[in-house]
């Protein structure tokens, strides 16, 4: 992780993390549904 210098950077990092986690979760759900019969 990168050092958080200020609150704005921290909030920006949280937003990026939320977007990445949401994309990963959607990708995981897509693969999981494809594996279902």
- CB 20, CB 26: distance < 8 Å: no
pLDDT at residue 13 in the model: 79
SS (H, E, C) 17-33: HHHHHHHHHHHHHHHHH
Q: How does pLDDT run across 1-37, given as a tens digit for each residue? A: 555 555 666 777 788 888 888 888 888 888 888 887 6
pTM here is 0.43
């Amino acid at each position: 992780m990168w050092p958080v210098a200020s609150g704005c950077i921290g909030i920006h990092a949280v937003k990026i993390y939320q977007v990445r986690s949401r994309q990963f979760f959607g990708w995981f759900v897509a693969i999981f549904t494809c594996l279902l019969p």
